[in-house]
Amino acid sequence: MSETRIKWDATKDRANHRKHGVSFDEAQSVFFDENAVRYFDPDHSEDEDRFLMLGMSWKLRVLVVCNCFRESDSVIRIISARKANKKECEDNWSA
52 inside domain: yes
State which residues form the domain around 24. Answer: 5-85
95 inside domain: no
Which CATH number covers residue 41?
A: 3.10.450.530
Residue-level pLDDT, tens digit, the chain, 95 residues: 468 899 999 999 999 999 999 999 999 999 999 999 999 886 767 778 889 999 999 999 999 999 998 777 789 999 999 999 999 888 776 65
Give the count of beta carbons closer than 10 Å to the beta carbon of residue 8.
20
pLDDT of residue 2: 61
Say how many domains are in the chain: 1
90 inside domain: no
pTM: 0.87
